[in-house]
């Protein structure tokens, strides 16, 4: 059963992803509302299904889009698998909000400090490539993280039944976008060429900008579209609803 569901997830992710990216890209990373598809599968069928379906689907889509399997193996498959595995895994947990808050605060500090460092150290390079002052992307980055934390707090209060899903979505998207942004930069350092996808190595100072683009073009669809679709699936097929595990607050 899982193999069949993984195939359906992968096919939908690849096809709908290609149809909805609207041709919009930022430094090689596409506009991606299709992220909601494997998120839904991860909740309904478990983290392995969501993660594996996303990994296979993004590889198929990348071959259709840019035709570079190595780029997909480095910067497509790993972040997609990890991202949706996390969403599926955390969505099944009953969260202790006190422990969660401490963990999120620590993770946020590490994330912000780690990803912003290149832009802060090399502001001139960032400005030369993007035309923006480095403080602009720093402000956008910090605002994105702050709004995500606020969204978790709001959903936890307003719709407690979606608390685990919202937390998993923000954490999964954050980790996935972080891995992708570093992987894209790393790929460009090793495999740039006049005829390749990247004509020259990307500046490390662009990593936060890639992160913001990736996160901001996916998380609204995951948070806003995912819950009503999942609820509709639960109503139609009650057996899909999985019991929460773990200890702590509901």
**Distance separating alpha carbons of residues 91 and 162, to the nearest angstrom:** 8
Residue 180 has what pLDDT? 94
Q: In 76-88, which positions are buried (b, 16+ CB within 10 angstroms) versus exposed (e)?
A: bbbbbbbbbbbbb
Residue 186 has what pLDDT? 93
What does the mean pLDDT of the chain come to?
83
**In a 3-state reduction of DSSP, which class is residue 92?**
coil
Taking 80 as the threshold, does the pLDDT of residue 28 lie above it? no
Q: What is the mean pLDDT of residues 18-35?
A: 86
- The number of angstroms, rounded, from the C-alpha of 122 to the middle of its chain's C-alpha atoms is 26
**Distance separating alpha carbons of residues 243 and 250, to the nearest angstrom:** 12
* Model confidence pLDDT, tens digit, residues 125-145: 656 656 666 677 677 767 777
User: First CA to last CA across the chain, in angstroms?
Assistant: 30
Task: Retrieve residue 2's tokens.
Answer: 């899982």
**Distance separating alpha carbons of residues 45 and 79, to the nearest angstrom:** 19
Is the torsion defined by CA of 85, 142, 115, 127 positive or negative?
Answer: positive
**In a 3-state reduction of DSSP, which class is residue 245?**
strand
Contacts of 179 (CB under 8 A, 6+ apart): 78, 79, 82, 83
């Amino acid at each position: 059963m899982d193999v069949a569901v993984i195939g359906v997830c992968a096919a939908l992710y690849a096809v709908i992803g290609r149809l909805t990216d609207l041709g919009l890209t930022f430094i090689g990373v596409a506009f991606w509302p299709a992220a909601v598809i494997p998120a839904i599968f991860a909740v309904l069928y478990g983290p392995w299904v969501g993660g594996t379906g996303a990994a296979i689907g993004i590889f198929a889509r990348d071959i259709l889009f840019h035709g570079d399997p190595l780029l997909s193996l480095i910067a497509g498959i790993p972040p997609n698998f990890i991202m949706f595995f996390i969403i599926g895994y955390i969505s099944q947990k009953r969260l202790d909000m006190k422990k969660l808050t401490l963990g999120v605060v620590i993770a946020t500090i590490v994330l912000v400090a780690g990803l912003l460092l290149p832009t802060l150290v090399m502001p001139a390079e960032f400005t030369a490539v993007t035309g923006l002052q480095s403080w602009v992307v720093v402000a956008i980055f910090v605002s994105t993280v702050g709004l995500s934390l606020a969204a978790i707090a709001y959903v936890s209060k307003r719709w407690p039944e979606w608390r685990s899903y919202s937390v998993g979505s923000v954490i999964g998207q954050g980790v996935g976008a972080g891995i992708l942004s570093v992987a894209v930069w790393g790929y460009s350092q090793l495999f740039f060429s006049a005829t390749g996808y990247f004509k020259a190595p990307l500046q490390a100072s662009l990593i936060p900008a890639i992160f913001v683009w990736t996160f901001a073009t996916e998380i609204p669809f995951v948070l806003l579209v995912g819950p009503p679709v999942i609820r509709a699936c639960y109503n139609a097929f009650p057996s899909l609803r999985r019991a929460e595990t773990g200890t702590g607050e509901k």
